[in-house]
């Protein structure tokens, strides 16, 4: 992906993570235009496949939607963010970003519980961890995604 796209996506993800931390929501006024921009960049990019990017977004959104319905704690903002991340990272990057975010969120939850900063019933924003997982994939693709693909 071109440097412009990487920088833009990183700034968007950081903004959404901070916004979710502060306000507890993911703003549609940022997510929807970002989805459109991501789709346009994936279409224009000679490296990415726009259909795979769209498929990745759908897969991630469905996975989080199902998880959210089962847990009844995850908001639709996280689902929309997962869709955006899927488009940004493609396949298999989107899956790696999602599981990286889940892993990082789990580590943070363990830390918060161990030090009694949060209780088991307390809510914790998920967007910062999804964003970190996506940024790891976007900026470290050659070190993370490529070696995983070689193993498969």
User: What is the DSSP code string of 62-117?
Assistant: HHHHHHHHHHS---HHHHHHHHHHHHHH-TTHHHHHHHHHHHHHHHHHHHHHHTTS
Q: What are all long-range contacts of 69-72, with beta carbons under 8 Å and residues at least 24 apart?
A: none
Q: How far is Cα 139 from Cα 6, in angstroms, rounded to an integer?
A: 7
In this predicted structure, the answer to whether residue 1 has a pLDDT above a threshold of 70 is: no
**pLDDT of the residue at 72:** 76
Query: Mean pLDDT, to the nearest integer, of 36-44?
Result: 93
Mean pLDDT of the chain: 91
List pLDDT tens digits, range 99-150: 999 999 999 999 999 998 888 888 899 999 999 999 999 988 777 767 776 7
CA 69 from centre of chain: 18
Length of the chain: 152
Instruction: Give all strands (DSSP E) within the chain, no chain letters.
Output: none
Q: How far is Cα 95 from Cα 90, in angstroms, rounded to an integer?
A: 8
């Amino acid at each position: 992906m071109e440097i412009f796209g990487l920088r833009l996506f990183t700034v968007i993800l950081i903004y959404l993570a901070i916004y979710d931390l502060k306000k507890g929501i993911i703003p549609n006024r940022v997510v929807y235009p970002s989805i459109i921009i991501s789709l346009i960049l994936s279409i224009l990019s000679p490296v990415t496949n726009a259909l795979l990017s769209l498929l990745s977004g759908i897969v991630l959104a469905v996975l989080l939607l199902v998880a959210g319905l089962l847990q009844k704690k995850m908001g639709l903002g996280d689902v929309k963010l997962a869709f955006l991340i899927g488009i940004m990272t493609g396949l298999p990057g989107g899956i790696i970003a999602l599981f990286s975010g889940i892993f990082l969120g789990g580590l943070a939850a363990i830390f918060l519980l161990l030090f009694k900063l949060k209780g088991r019933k307390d809510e914790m924003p998920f967007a910062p961890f999804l964003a970190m997982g996506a940024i790891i994939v976007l900026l470290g693709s050659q070190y993370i995604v490529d070696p995983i693909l070689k193993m498969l």
